[in-house]
Chain A
Amino acid sequence: MASILPLELVHVRLAIGDTLIADDFTLTLAAGAPTIVVGANGAGKSTLLRLCHGLAAPSAGTIAWARDPKGHQAMVFQRPSMLRRSALANVAYGLKLRGVPRGVRTEIARDRLRRVGLEAIAERPARVLSGGEQARVALARAWALDPQILFLDEPTANLDPAATRALEDILGDMAEEGTKIVMTTHNLGQARRLGADIVFLHRGRVIEHAPVERFFKSPGTPEAAAYLAGELPW
Chain B
Amino acid sequence: MAIFGDAFATALALLIGGDPQLFGIVSLSLQVSLAATLIAATIGLPIGAALALARFPGRQPIVVILNALMGLPPVVVGLVVYLLLSRAGPLGSLGLLFTPGAMIVAQTVLIAPILAALARQTLEDAWAEHCDQLRSLGATLLQSAATLLWDTRYALVTVVLAGFGRAAAEVGAVIIVGGNIAGVTRTMTTAIALETSKGDLGLALALGIVLLAVVLAVNAAASGLKNLSVRRYG
Contact = CB atoms under 8 A, between A and B. Distances in A.
Interface of A: 50, 53-55, 70-71, 74-75, 77, 80-81, 83-85, 93-94, 97-98, 125-128, 141, 145
B151 A98 contact: no
- 10 cross-chain pairs, A with B, having the tightest CB-CB distances, nearest first: A127-B234, A128-B234, A84-B233, A94-B137, A81-B133, A125-B233, A75-B136, A81-B130, A84-B151, A83-B151
- For chain B, the bracket of interface size reads 10 to 19
Contacts of A98: 138
24 contacts: A55-B136, A74-B136, A74-B137, A75-B136, A77-B132, A77-B136, A81-B129, A81-B130, A81-B132, A83-B130, A83-B151, A84-B229, A84-B234, A85-B233, A93-B137, A93-B147, A94-B137, A97-B137, A97-B138, A97-B139, A98-B138, A127-B233, A127-B234, A145-B137
Interface in B57-77: none
Contacts of B130: 81, 83
B88 to A, nearest CB: 51
A94 B139 CA distance: 8
A128 B233 contact: yes
> Chain B binding site: helix, strand, loop or mixed by DSSP?
helix
Instruction: From B137, B138, B151, B229, name the one whose CB has the most chain A CB atoms within 10 angstroms.
Output: B137
Contacts of B132: 50, 55, 77, 81
A72 B155 CA distance: 35
Interface string B129-153: 1101101111100010001000110
A133 to B, nearest CB: 12
Nearest to B153: A84
B133 A125 contact: no
A95 to B, nearest CB: 9
B233 A77 contact: no
B138 A71 contact: yes
A55 B131 CA distance: 10
A53 B151 contact: no
B196 to A, nearest CB: 46
Nearest to A56: B132
A53 B143 contact: no
Interface string B104-143: 0000000000000000000000000110110111110001
A128 B234 CA distance: 5
B55 interface: no
A145 B232 CA distance: 27
Nearest to B140: A97
Contacts of B137: 74, 93-94, 97, 141, 145
A168 B137 CA distance: 23
Nearest to B233: A84
A75 B137 CA distance: 8
A81 B137 CA distance: 12
Given A84-B229, A85-B151, 16 more contacts: A54-B135, A55-B135, A74-B136, A77-B132, A80-B133, A81-B132, A81-B133, A85-B233, A94-B137, A97-B139, A125-B233, A125-B234, A127-B233, A127-B234, A128-B233, A145-B137
A171 B131 CA distance: 25
Given A81-B129, A83-B147, A125-B232, A53 B138 contact: no
Nearest to A141: B137
B138 A70 contact: yes
A145 B234 CA distance: 26
A68 B130 CA distance: 24
A53 B136 contact: yes
Contacts of A145: 137
Instruction: From A70, A84, A97, name the one whose CB has the most chain B CB atoms within 10 angstroms.
Output: A84
A34 B83 CA distance: 70
A184 B175 CA distance: 65
